[in-house]
Amino acid sequence: MVSGIGARALGRAHVVGIGGSTRSESSTERVLAAVLHSVEERGATTTLLAGADIELPTYAPERPGRTPATQRLVAEVERADGIVIASPGYHGGISGMVKNALDYLEDLRDAPRPYLAGRAVGLIACADGPQATTTTLTALRAVVHALRGWPTPLGIALQTSERGVRLDGTVESPELAARIDAMADQVLSLVPVAAA
């Protein structure tokens, strides 16, 4: 994996994935990793920030101190050309862990590209039923708009009762594989448009 700065020097897009849950290799994290794998197959570089990478102290704007993990999150997003965000649906909305990680992007308010400006953002919501996947995906879109990002037209809403992504990375259904590839295509095709 080439770092984001090195990737740009080579003319390659760099995409950062943020999401998952406290459970290692959760269904949400596996779908996120599958999208990043599809992005890599298209020639881009990626960084996955999931699970323990985003289990951060509660965001508090009045406290300027940042842990190494929060500094890494902000730095990775700052240099990213595209982003993919994946959240489990908890009680009809974004998980606290994912939302807290996104709150730290306030640290980019004075950056040359503030917040998520100039970045295409793919969104994934995984939950036990259709209502929670839909409301979580809608909430993610609202947050990305507030952070000035460009959500892709396609969002992946996956019910955990559906066939998803196995632990070995195998996508279990052709329909999900098609959505994963379409999201990778959309994130990468919007990168030059968003950057302009």
In sequence order, the 6+-apart residues with CB closer than 8 A to the CB of 174 are none
CB 169: neighbour CB atoms within 10 A? 10
Mean pLDDT, the chain, whole residue set? 89
Range in 26-35, 113-122, 124-133, 163-172 the model is least confident about? 163-172
Q: How far apart (Å, rounded) are the C-alpha atoms in residues 142 and 86? A: 14
Count how many domains the chain has: 1
In sequence order, the 6+-apart residues with CB closer than 8 A to the CB of 45 are 1, 2, 3, 4, 6, 7, 12, 13, 14, 15
Q: Which residue has the higher pLDDT, 76 or 190?
A: 76
Which residue range forms the structural domain that includes residue 38? Answer: 4-195
For residue 53, the model assigns a pLDDT of 95
Q: Residue 118: helix, strand or coil by DSSP?
A: coil
* pLDDT tens string 77-103: 999 999 999 999 988 899 999 999 999
Q: How far apart (Å, rounded) are the C-alpha atoms in residues 32 and 147? A: 20
| HSE-up of residue 59 (Cα within 13 Å, Cβ side) | 18
- CA-nearest of 57, 124, 136, 133 to 95 is 136
Whichever domain contains 79, its CATH number is 3.40.50.360
* pLDDT tens string 5-14: 434 444 689 9
**What pTM was estimated for this model as a whole?**
0.91
For residue 6, the model assigns a pLDDT of 38
**To which residue do tokens 């050309």 refer?**
81
